[in-house]
A and B are shown apart, each in its own frame.
Chain A
């Protein structure tokens, strides 16, 4: 892992958080995290504060993916509006997810490769 890569999510007391970034120069808040530069104003380095938020959001759209060069299909991808901040993320979701469902991050271990965070339906919405 080189100096520019960082994990987009972290563990926090058993729950998961997404690492958003807020630019001190222009106020833009974005995901995924990077230290390369703010897309709004170009500020870099110390100007980019990490702001972890709960990995919880509502599904705006979801689609089944049936064709992919390497991954096993079908899998499901959704636009998820985060609860904590007005940011929409694209995430792999569990198959039972519908539009409007609340989803939370859950870790999927994939053997040797880095564990991936998947968003799954909360118990209340099942």
Chain B
């Protein structure tokens, strides 16, 4: 039985920083990563000398990114490690930082996510296992197939699915850190070009770059540093799972592992899906948002599209889903993405998400999945009395 060390030793996010996500450009990952880390430290009111360990989340950057980034913050000798979990690279970097503090190994740790819009061959393609369509099935094709199955099984139309993108593009339009900041009509969302199957360009996450960083600290350290507790956000759960083998080949691994990992997170946090006010999830393609909302119990089975149409999933609704714009509008630079979700959640819980604030936000859930059936979930809660 796993012990929840976050109840033994409380961990708080005390600083956040972002380099806005944008289309591929000539800015180096070092420039972006250092900028995001400095902003997070400034937000926390501490210097790099106070940081005991750092994790760099990246899916694609290559060897030795962690010390290459850290040296320009000042070479203090702290341990720095790069971690990878495909799309969930940033999320696992956050988790490692959280675990360092929760275990008592450190008092202050940093997680920074970085990546460039380059696409080196991944390890899956090097496995030597040959199927019938090797190298031909990109993620958009994989999710286009899932979309076909989903539309048929759920008796949902392409227009209803397109409404997910309309919502997320509308949220992104209010987010200065988002890559896509245009309000889009349903007609625009459904227009060609098609990428795979029914997935149009605006129903797929864009290719982009950026950086995001968070600083986490122990409760004792908050006191020592004189941190304003009203701006400190507690990490109630930080879970990571991989999907066990299916009995047969059918079904979506991403759905199943999301369900299991979210159940573990709710149990660790001693709360349920109805306690969640803000959700940031892996909406790289429109079909993913309803899938994961159901898998996590945020929406009842079969009710996601009713909720969406009623505005229940908007900023200001029952639960704000993808208030940042999600991967669809905010973007998915990979390494930064999971860290950026924590940043957005913290802004919402602090009441500082100017122009896109979900009123009364107290508890947030972030969700990322990665190639190979991996899933990382964080649950965050603001400290202090309910406003």
Q: Does A39 contact B (CB under 8 A)?
A: yes
**Per-residue 0/1 for A47-74: is the Cβ within 8 Å of any B Cβ (1 yes, 0 no)?**
0000000000000111111111111000
Q: Which residue of B is nearest A86, CB measured?
A: B248
B136 contacts A68, CB within 8 Å?
A: yes
How many contacts between A and B, using CB within 8 angstroms? 99
Report, as a range, how many residues of chain B touch the other chain.
Answer: 20 to 34
**Structural contact, B249 and A63, CB atoms closer than 8 A:** no
**Residue A117 at the B interface, CB < 8 A?**
yes
- Chain A residues lying within 8 Å of B193, measured Cβ to Cβ, are 66-67
Q: How many residues of A contact B (CB 8 A)?
A: 44
> In the complex, are the beta carbons of A92 and B133 less than 8 A apart?
yes
A7→B197 contact, CB < 8 A: no
Q: A30-B249, A87-B249 are in contact. Are A65 and B141 (CB under 8 A)?
A: yes
Q: Check if A126 is an interface residue, CB within 8 A of chain B.
A: no
Contact of A92 among B130, B136, B148, B249 (CB under 8 A): B136
In the complex, are the beta carbons of B132 and A8 less than 8 A apart?
yes
Contact B141 A63 (CB under 8 A): yes
Min CB distance A46 to B, Å, is 19
Residues of B within 8 A of A6 (CB): 130
Cβ of B137 under 8 Å from chain A: yes
Shortest distance between the CB of B126 and any CB in chain A (Å)? 11
Residue of A nearest to B251 (CB): A88
- Which of these, B132, B148, B152, B245, contacts A89 with CB under 8 Å? B132
A34 at the interface (CB under 8 A from B): yes
Chain B residues with CB below 8 A from A90, complex form: 131-133, 137, 145
Q: Give the CA-CA distance A87 to B348 in the complex, in Å.
A: 45
Q: In the assembled complex, how far is the CB of residue B133 from the closest CB belonging to chain A, in whole angstroms?
A: 5
- Does B4 reach chain A (CB closer than 8 Å)? no
Chain B proximity of A22: nearest CB distance (Å): 13
Interface string of B131-164 (1 = CB under 8 A from A): 1110111101100110011001000000000000
Q: Residues of A contacting B145 with CB < 8 Å?
A: 61, 63, 77-79, 90
Q: Are B148 and A65 in contact (CB under 8 A)?
A: no
Q: Check A91 against B133 for contact (C-beta < 8 Å).
A: yes
Which residues of A lie under 8 Å from residue B141 when comparing CB positions?
63, 65, 77
Return the chain A residue nearest B143 by Cβ: A63
Q: Contact between A67 and B196 (Cβ–Cβ < 8 Å)?
A: yes
Q: Is B250 part of the binding interface, using a Cβ–Cβ cutoff of 8 Å? A: yes
Interface of chain A residues 23 through 39 with chain B (CB within 8 A) = 28, 30-34, 36, 39
Which residue of A has the minimal Cβ distance to B119?
Answer: A69
Pick the residue among A5, A67, A119 that contacts B138 (CB under 8 A). A67
**Residues in A neighbouring B248, C-beta threshold 8 A:** 86-87
Q: Which residues of B are found within 8 Å of A31, using beta-carbon distances?
A: 131, 249
Q: Closest Cβ of chain B: how far from A20's Cβ, in Å?
A: 10
The residues in B between 232 and 262 inclusive whose CB is less than 8 angstroms from any CB of A are 245, 248-250
**Separation of A32 and B152 alpha carbons in the complex (Å):** 27
CA distance A4 to B127 in the complex (A): 9
B195: A residues at CB distance < 8 A: 66-67
**Cβ A64 vs Cβ B130 within 8 A:** no
Residues in A whose Cβ lies below 8 Å from that of B198: 63
Q: B124 at the A/B interface (Cβ < 8 Å)?
A: no
Q: A64-B197, A65-B196 in contact; A117/B148 too (CB < 8 A)? A: no
Q: Which residues of B contact A78 (CB under 8 A)?
A: 145
Q: How far is the CB of A66 from chain B (nearest CB, A)?
A: 5
A70 to B148, CA, bound (A): 24
Measured between alpha carbons, how far is A56 from B97 in the docked complex, in Å?
Answer: 50
Closest to B131 in A: A32
Give every chain A residue within 8 A of B123 (Cβ-Cβ): none
Select which of B127, B149, B196, B250 is within 8 A of A64 by beta carbon. Answer: B196
Q: Across the interface, which residues of A come within 8 angstroms of B148, CB to CB?
A: 61-63, 99
Cβ proximity bits B102-144 to A, threshold 8 Å, 1 near / 0 not: 0000000000000000010000000111111101111011001
Q: What 1/0 mask marks residues of chain B from 163 to 188 whose CB sits below 8 Å from any chain A CB? A: 00000000000000000000000000
Q: Are the C-beta atoms of B132 and A32 separated by less than 8 Å?
A: yes
**Are B138 and A68 neighbours in the complex by a CB distance under 8 Å?**
yes
> Which chain A residues lie closer than 8 Å to B135 at the CB level?
70-71
Residues in chain A near residue B149, CB distance under 8 A: 60-61, 79
A15 to B137, CA, bound (A): 25
Residue of B nearest to A36 (CB): B129
- In the assembled complex, 10 residue pairs joining A and B whose CB atoms fall closer than 8 Å, in A order, are A61-B145, A61-B152, A65-B141, A65-B144, A66-B194, A67-B193, A68-B136, A75-B136, A89-B132, A90-B137
User: Closest 4 A-B residue pairs measured CB to CB?
Assistant: A63-B197, A61-B148, A4-B128, A32-B131
Known: A30-B249, A90-B137. 11 other contacts (CB 8 A): A6-B130, A28-B245, A32-B130, A32-B132, A34-B128, A40-B245, A63-B198, A67-B140, A67-B196, A77-B133, A89-B131
